[in-house]
Amino acid sequence: MNEIIVHPTAVVSPKAELGKGVEIGPYAVIGDHVRIGEGTVIMHHGVIECNAEIGAHCTIFPFSSVGTTPQDISFHNEDTFLHIGDHNVIREFTTINRGTSKGGNHTRIGDHNYLMAYVHIAHDCQVGSHTQFVNGATLAGHVTVEDYAVVGAFSSVHQFVRIGRHAYIGGYTIVLQDILPFSKVAQRRSSYSLYGPNSIGMMRNGFNRDFIDHVKDIYRIIFHSDLNLTQAIKKISEELPDSEEAAIIIGFIDKSKRGILKNFFPDA
């Protein structure tokens, strides 16, 4: 169906662009310079403030606030932007802020992501595709979350932290350092610990046994040897010279500015 449906109580700016089949529910507010892609549904009381691009076939649930100004005291109403891709589900009371000029002007979210209720994505975050954010998960500004990562309920991620692809962060975890791709992390009492590779997550996403075993070998070298990180990377490169998984993990480490989490919990 290509008909655009706008409820009579909704407020839609004349400067907004609505694609085919878009539905805007009761009391929703769509601001200036908002573009909404084909088949996307904004349910009742949803707010898309301004300068936001929403892709096709997304669903934004009631009382979500998307494209709002960043929670940054240095922000002075500059023109900054939010880009959300296709097939995303954004549940109730989620907040997603636009970027800041000092952070590159753009907050970005990819495709096929599932954001549960009360999730917060702050300014200048870069979120990939096929991620999951469980209820209350929070990203501070400038956080990068790569494809297929899972951020558990009520977990908080410090600004500028990077979360690698296929990583899993357990609920109520405070993340202060970069989380390696394919890893599993959870809060444990007063500290948080790396529990090894996210083997179950990798199997569910179609990785073969050799790939998973290589990731385990890499983790053993990094976390269970007496080598420092530089020595561990050298050994990984020598033992797995043509390994895709080694290239992914080493490339991630090379770009780390906050350092990687190395508090390994050996009893896991």
Residues with a known catalytic role = 123-124, 141
H or E element that contains 229: helix 229-239
Strand partners, 186: 193
DSSP string of 203-234?
Answer: HHTT--HHHHHHHHHHHHHHHSSS--HHHHHH
- For the record, the structure tokens of 166 come out as 């296929």
Whether 151 and 114 have beta carbons less than 8 Å apart is answered as no
- Structure tokens, 260: 């990687």
Is residue 19 within 8 Å of 56, Cβ to Cβ?
Answer: yes
In degrees and rounded to multiples of 5, residue 163 shows phi and psi of -115, 120
Q: Compute the distance between CA of residue 127 and CA of residue 150 in angstroms, rounded to an integer.
A: 11
